[in-house]
Amino acid sequence: MSAVRTPAPRSVDDLEATFRDRFDAAPDGVWFAPGRVNIMGEHTDYNGGFVLPIALAEGTWVAARRRDDDTVRLHTDSPDVPDPSASVHLGELHDGESVGWASYAAGVGWAAAQRGFDVPGLDIAVTSNVPTGAGLSSSAALSCGTARAWVDLAGWSLTDTEVADLGRDAENHIAGAPTGLMDQLASVCGRSGHAMQIDTRSVEITQIPFDLSAHGLALLVIDSRAPHALVSGEYAERRRSCQEAAAALGVPALRDATVADLDGLPDLLLRRARHVITDSARVEQVAALLTDGSDPRMIGPLLNQSHLSMRDDFEITVPVTDLIAETAVRAGAYGARQTGGGFGGCVIALVDQDAAETVAEACVAAATAENFNEPASFVAVPSDGARRIS
C-alpha cells in the first residue's frame, strides 16, 4: 500500500442525512472550511511578524440550520471526541469558560454577540478529514466553517478578516487556546494555487502563486501522529517569553527588533526572540524566491534552517518530528520542517513529485524503527478558503 494517501473527502449527502437524523429537519446549507499548513514563519503571528500558510483541500464540513432561540445544538462524527453531541445556550457562554469541543463552534456566536450582533441559535452537524491535534488547524477549520455559516444565515456583513477574527475569538476566549490569527486567516482567505504572505501586524495578505507541480515538485505533509495541544501550557509559555523579550528590549513586539538588538538578553529570551525574528525574515526570503521566478527548490535550505531554529532556539520540536525532518532530507527532500504550533504534529517536506513515495516510506521506516507511531503522509494542494458549498 502507498505511504502517500490523500484523505478522502467527506460526503455532503451523508452529512445532510446525519443532520436530518439528529435534528429532524434538513439543514439550511452546508459550508466547508479548510485546514492549513504553514510553509514558513512559526510563532511569528502573535509577535506582529510574517507568516506564509496555504489552505488545504482537507477541512471541515458544517451543515447548519438557523433556530429562532439562542440555543446551539451540535453534533460531530469525530471519533476523537468523547461527547459527540452538545447543546449550549449562547447566553450562558462566558469568557474563559470552555464548553469542550463545542467551544470552537458555539464560541463564534459568543464572539458575534460581543460585537453587538443579534445572534440566532443554530443546529450544526460537522464532519472533517483533517486529523485533530496534527497541527493542521482542525480547530480553525471548525471555527471558521461555523463562522461562515453563521454570517450567511444571520445576514451579517463582515469582511474576510472579520470572519477570521470571530473564529480566533472563539478559540482564545471560549476554547482557551491563546493563538494568533494565522490559522483562521488561512482558513478563510485561502486561494487555490496560492500561498498567503500575511503581515500579521497590518493584516495585509499578499496572494503568491504557489504551483509546485509546474516545477515537478510536491509539498509532502508527514503527520508524526504525535499529537500536540495548543491549550496545553507550552504554547502560552512561548507567547509569554516573547512578550517578556519585547518588554526587555523596550519594543511593542518582536516585529520591531532585529537579531543585533538581542545581545544582553538572558539566554532563554535571546533564543526565543532570535527564532521569531529569523523565522519572520525567512518568510520574506521564501516569498521573494516564489515571486522572482527562482526555482522553488531554493526554498529547501530555509525550511531546514527553520526546523533547527524551532528545535534549538524555540524548543517546540519533539524527537519524532526531528527524526522525520532529518529522514526526509536524507531520503531526497530539498528541505523539511515541522509546521504549526509544535510539540508534535506534522513535518512538511519539499520533494520531487516522483520522490514523494520514497521519502514517505523512509519516514515510516525510521519512525517505526524507533517505536514511534507510524507517520501518515499526503501531498498538500493549495486550495480555496471557507465557503458555502450547498
Per-residue mark of binding to ligand GAF, 98-127 (x: CB under 6 A): ------------------------------
| Cβ at position 11, least distance to ligand GAF in Å | 28
Is residue 340 part of the contact set for ligand GAF (CB under 6 A)?
yes
CA distances from 112 to 30, 177, 317, 320 (A): 20, 18, 35, 40
Of 41-49, 87-95, 260-268, 303-311, which part binds ligand GAF (CB under 6 A)?
A: 41-49
Q: Find cell 502507498 and name the residue.
A: 2
Is residue 183 part of the contact set for ligand GAF (CB under 6 A)?
yes
Q: List strands edge to edge, sheet with 204-209.
A: 50-51, 194-199, 204-209
Q: In the complex with ligand GAF, which residue's Cβ is closer, 64 or 273?
A: 273
Is residue 43 part of the contact set for ligand GAF (CB under 6 A)?
yes
| Cβ at position 216, least distance to ligand GAF in Å | 29
Q: In the complex with ligand GAF, which residue's Cβ is closer, 86 or 175?
A: 175
Backbone angles phi, psi at 219, to 5 degrees: -100, 105
Given a contact cutoff of 8 angstroms between Cβ atoms, the answer to whether 17 and 27 are in contact is no
Of 72-80, 84-92, 102-110, 175-183, which part binds ligand GAF (CB under 6 A)?
A: 175-183
Is residue 45 part of the contact set for ligand GAF (CB under 6 A)?
yes
| Residue 183 designated active-site | yes
CA distances from 260 to 205, 266, 282, 284 (A): 28, 14, 16, 18
Instruction: Select from 166, 163, 179 the least CA-distant residue to 45.
Output: 179
Strand intervals (E) in 85-166: 85-89, 122-128
Q: What is the dihedral of CA 365, 366, 367, 371, to 10 degrees?
A: 90
Query: Per CB under 6 A, which of residues 208..237 are in contact with ligand GAF?
Result: 230
Q: Which residues pair with 37 in a beta bridge?
A: 54
Indicate which residue of 165, 183, 223, 279 is catalytic: 183
What lies within 8 Å, CB to CB, of 96 at 6+ separation is: 173, 176
| Cβ at position 251, least distance to ligand GAF in Å | 19
Indicate the DSSP class of residue 134.
S
Grid coordinates standing for 63? 451543515
| Cβ at position 86, least distance to ligand GAF in Å | 22
Q: In the complex with ligand GAF, which residue's Cβ is closer, 43 or 65?
A: 43
In order, the DSSP letters of 226-259 are: ----TTSHHHHHHHHHHHHHHHHHT-SSGGG--G
Please identify which residue in 180, 344, 375, 385 interacts with ligand GAF, judged by CB under 6 A: 180
Please identify which residue in 33, 105, 182, 221 interacts with ligand GAF, judged by CB under 6 A: 182
Of 180-188, 205-213, 346-354, 359-367, which part binds ligand GAF (CB under 6 A)?
A: 180-188
Is residue 42 part of the contact set for ligand GAF (CB under 6 A)?
yes
Is residue 275 part of the contact set for ligand GAF (CB under 6 A)?
no
Contact positions vs ligand GAF (CB under 6 A): 38, 42-43, 45-46, 179-180, 182-183, 230, 340-341
Q: Which residues are catalytic?
A: 183
